[in-house]
Amino acid sequence: MSKPSPDSFVIDGKLALPYQYFAGRTGSRFLISIRDEKKIKGLKCEKCNKVFVPPRQTCERCFADISENWVELENAGTVTGFTIIRYAEPHQPFKPPYILAQIQLDGADTSLTHIVKGVALSQMKTGIRVQAKFAKNPTNSIMDIDHFRPVKPKFELGYSYDDLEIGMSASFTKTITESDVYQFAGISGDFNPMHLNEEFAKMTPFGTRIAHGALPQSLIAPVLGMKLPGLGTVIPEITVRFRKPTYFGDTVTATAEVVEFIEDRRWVKLELTWTNQRDELVAEGHAIAIPPTPMG
Amino acid sequence: MARRVGICAVAQTTVEHDKWYERFQGMALEVLEKLREQVAVEFSRHTGKAGIDMSINVSDDVFDARTISDNGMTDVLGAHFGCEEKVAQEGIQAIYYGLAAIQSGHCDQVLIIGHCKESQPKSRNMVSHMAFDPFFTRPVGLDFCAAAGLQAQAYAEKTGITDEQLAKVVVRARENAAKNPYTPEIEPVSAETVMQSEMLADPIRELHAYPVSDGAVGMVLAAEDIAKKMTDRPVWITGVGNCMDSFFFGDRDLASNFALRKAAEWAYKRAGINDPRGAFDLVEISDQYAYQHPMWMEGLGLCEEGKGGDWIDNEGPDKGRVNPSGGMLAGNPLILGGLFRAAEAALQLREDAGNHQIDDVKKALAHGVMGPAGQFHSVVTLERG
């Protein structure tokens, strides 16, 4: 009995009945595969050419028995619909607000209702790619998939052709030291005494040792390859005109700016400049870049 | 051709958020007494006299927290020693059921009384949560409000309906409800207030949802010959249709109105309606949430597909004479939506609607919906006798 009621006009009650629900053979197989193998499976109707999830024994369209036609689905899929639950009820799996979504797993034709985490509520939208995060402790229910999270790409690729705009720029700055010059001599095999022998260098027009021209020039590589356009870029052409020498201890800034679209090939042209701490133009030129194409 | 069936009397209680002063049976008794004021309701079938052949109760075991919820209603239904039935589907299905019983020749007179007190369970969302399966959909926290959120988002993405347009639906529903004596608690509201109300399940706001409701509604159906003797103002049931969509949301296109289209198609076919546009002088739809008002109108073929937003801006609801009662947004229990709508339509056809009576209502449509995100729809067409 529940506790006595405060008056004889209203009685507190609770509809609670200990109960065991049977998942059925098909439902059990589906849940076991998620729990033990972390694999989400669907059932395919060959006649309707449709893969259903959650599982069912019979195709609802043609009534064919499909209970043995298991197909393995990807653990990742696309959000086809969603809402943000903001009201609280005891039957909810997480404290609101949370995202409830329809997720169509790769390989399935129907979507699964589940929770999405790891997306700012204001940024949630249909079409995003998500992947299953499995529960640490088994629940023997669909919550053995704890939730779905956005698919994180293995690498954050740089700007694609469509992402780039005229005027975008990026740069990299480094102080060129004696040690850099010696290492560069080793890398290039250029042991010219004008870079390595101070007594020889005194006889040159510069009066002291200077860095190899290609050393400051190389500072544009991290700009083009890692910033603008960034990872995944291929550079088929760089041209340079050297304007000033780089002395040991100079701090050189390499800058690239998008100046032109080569529309027929979907490449871009970037203007390149190298400057030092005295605001002198060390070198200038341009590069042609093939920006990365989005993956997947 | 099956014999015609008429609605001979309709009655309802007021709908309030908490009728704490009345039991289920008390609400039902009020309905029965109001019906008896209109027509002779005889319960002496067991003595061989003509009278009610079948009493149908509309109620829900979980809302009432007792299984076989109808067996607590036997007295009020006059079902002692007679045929008693229960509809645990949407209440408008009782009309479908009664119609079938009469057209089959099994019965001549049917009494329908539905009751529900949404105030008594701790939360109606906890009740509708129980409609989901325990393995795949309950664990993710689904209930009818969450399901409606998924559908509203899908409908908004398909049609581009705006928060302003949805607010207009609520403002109008509450203006209409102010004229309806059966919805005494509903206050008019401004569009700004609607748009400032809290989000429940985006894009559904608190004021987009029908209020928690207690109430009862009922009617008497009879075969044509008896109906004509019972009343000089019968309302003929000209068409019925219903359709159940798939259980899992992923098997459905939530924005497609598939089940409603089918239900309407069958009802129109039975009623001999080729083009529903212009076929009705009154439409009463079960709009549990604001987005459903335009969406169901699209599904009924009474608003252009995907143009629900424009339809609202162009005064479609007034031109289409939709829900002068205030509709479900003015409140009535979930399980009785369609039965209340049919009762309202009958009042309008009989010119008994009082303050919210509209002119020249000769043909009407009543709609009910049950299950998550409009899984099941029922459409009834009616005509003034």
Q: What architecture (CATH level 2) is domain A169-290? A: Roll (3.10)
Q: For residue A77, list chain B residues with Cβ-Cβ distance below 8 A.
A: none
| Token code pair at residue B273 | 């309606």
- With respect to residue B20, please indicate whether it lies within any of the assigned structural domains: yes
Q: Is B261 helix (H, G, I), strand (E, B) or coil?
A: helix
Going by pLDDT thresholds of 50, 70 and 90, the confidence category of residue A4 is: low
Query: Considering CB atoms only, which of B123, B135, B150 is closest to A83?
Result: B150
The per-residue pLDDT for range B278-302, each reduced to its tens digit, is: 999 999 999 999 999 999 999 999 9
The per-residue pLDDT for range B95-141, each reduced to its tens digit, is: 999 999 999 999 999 999 999 999 999 999 999 999 999 999 999 99
- Give the pLDDT of residue B168: 98
The per-residue pLDDT for range B135-191, each reduced to its tens digit, is: 999 999 999 999 999 999 999 999 999 999 999 999 999 999 999 999 999 999 999
Q: Work out the mean pLDDT of chain A and round it to a whole number.
A: 94
The per-residue pLDDT for range B258-285, each reduced to its tens digit, is: 999 999 999 999 999 999 999 999 999 9
Going by pLDDT thresholds of 50, 70 and 90, the confidence category of residue A293 is: confident
Give the Cα separation of A199 and B206 in Å (integer). 85
Shortest distance between the Cα of B87 and any Cα of chain A, in A, equals: 21
Give the Cα separation of B340 and B347 in Å (integer). 10
- With respect to residue B52, please indicate whether it lies within any of the assigned structural domains: yes
Q: pTM of the full predicted structure?
A: 0.84
DSSP 8-class letter at B250: G
Give the Cα separation of B111 and B113 in Å (integer). 7
Domain of B36 in residue numbering reads as 5-122+212-230
- How far, CA to CA in Å, does B306 sit from each of B158, B159, B205, B254, B366? 7, 5, 21, 13, 22
Q: For residue B200, list chain A residues with Cβ-Cβ distance below 8 A.
A: 86-87
- Give the pLDDT of residue A156: 84
Shortest distance between the Cα of A21 and any Cα of chain B, in A, equals: 7
- How far, CA to CA in Å, does B249 sit from each of A111, A171, B337, B369, B374? 7, 51, 22, 16, 11
Number of domains in chain B: 1
Examine the predicted complex and report whether its ipTM is higher than 0.90.
yes
The per-residue pLDDT for range A126-136, each reduced to its tens digit, is: 999 999 999 99
Helix, strand, coil abundance in chain A, percent, nearest 5: 15, 35, 50
Q: Which CATH number fits the domain that encloses residue B30?
A: 3.40.47.10
Distance of CA B146 to the CA centre of its chain: 21
Nearest to B232 by CA among B385, B108, B109: B385
- Give the pLDDT of residue A153: 76
Q: Work out the mean pLDDT of chain B and round it to a whole number.
A: 96
- Give the pLDDT of residue A8: 73
Q: For residue A53, list chain B residues with Cβ-Cβ distance below 8 A.
A: 250
Strand partners, B284: B366
The per-residue pLDDT for range B293-332, each reduced to its tens digit, is: 999 999 999 999 999 999 999 999 999 999 999 999 999 9
Instruction: Look at A74-88, A144-158, B102-116 and tell me which has the smallest mean pLDDT.
Output: A144-158
Mutate to test the interface with B, among A113, A139, A142, A146 (most CBs of B within 10 A): A113
Nearest to B169 by CA among B76, B295, B18: B295
Backbone dihedral angles phi then psi of residue A47, each to the nearest 5 degrees: -70, -45
The per-residue pLDDT for range B72-82, each reduced to its tens digit, is: 898 899 888 88
Burial of A9 (0-12, 13-18, 19+ CB in 10 A): exposed
CB contact under 8 A, B149 and A111: no
- Give the pLDDT of residue A296: 46
Q: For residue B154, list chain A residues with Cβ-Cβ distance below 8 A.
A: 81
The per-residue pLDDT for range B132-148, each reduced to its tens digit, is: 999 999 999 999 999 99
Shortest distance between the Cα of A77 and any Cα of chain B, in A, equals: 13
Burial of B73 (0-12, 13-18, 19+ CB in 10 A): buried
Query: Considering CB atoms only, which of B140, B246, B248 is closest to A100?
Result: B140
Collect contacts of B353-361 with beta carbons under 8 A, ≥24 apart.
B353/B324, B353/B325, B354/B181, B355/B179, B355/B180, B355/B181, B356/B176, B356/B179, B356/B180, B356/B324, B356/B325, B356/B326, B358/B281, B358/B282, B358/B321, B358/B324, B360/B281, B361/B281, B361/B282, B361/B321
pLDDT at B1 over 60: no
Q: For residue A85, list chain B residues with Cβ-Cβ distance below 8 A.
A: 141, 146, 149, 201
Shortest distance between the Cα of B361 and any Cα of chain A, in A, equals: 39
Q: For residue B142, list chain A residues with Cβ-Cβ distance below 8 A.
A: 100, 113
Q: How many C-beta neighbours within 10 Å does residue B98 have?
A: 28
CB A194 within 8 A of CB A200: yes
Q: For residue A113, list chain B residues with Cβ-Cβ distance below 8 A.
A: 136-137, 140, 142, 150, 248-250
Mutate to test the interface with A, among B24, B135, B253, B289 (most CBs of A within 10 A): B135
Query: Considering CB atoms only, which of B126, B134, B150 is closest to A21?
Result: B134
Mutate to test the interface with B, among A48, A63, A85 (most CBs of B within 10 A): A85
Mean pLDDT of A226-243: 96
- Give the pLDDT of residue B93: 97
Q: For residue A92, list chain B residues with Cβ-Cβ distance below 8 A.
A: 141
Question: E strands within A91-217?
Answer: 98-105, 112-116, 129-134, 145-150, 169-175
Q: What is the dihedral of CA A110, B138, A76, A41, to 10 degrees?
A: -70
- With respect to residue B369, please indicate whether it lies within any of the assigned structural domains: no
Going by pLDDT thresholds of 50, 70 and 90, the confidence category of residue A1 is: very low
- Give the pLDDT of residue B82: 85
Residue in the structure block whose two tokens are 């027009």: A205
Shortest distance between the Cα of B122 and any Cα of chain A, in A, equals: 10
Determine the residue of chain B that is closest to A80 in CA distance. Answer: B154
- Give the pLDDT of residue B186: 96
pLDDT at B2 over 90: no
Going by pLDDT thresholds of 50, 70 and 90, the confidence category of residue B50 is: confident
CB contact under 8 A, A84 and B202: yes
If one compares A107 and B47, the residue with the highest pLDDT of the two is A107
Query: Considering CB atoms only, which of B149, B250, B251 is closest to A83?
Result: B149
| N residues, chain B | 385
Shortest distance between the Cα of A136 and any Cα of chain B, in A, equals: 16
Query: Considering CB atoms only, which of B65, B126, B150 is closest to A91?
Result: B126
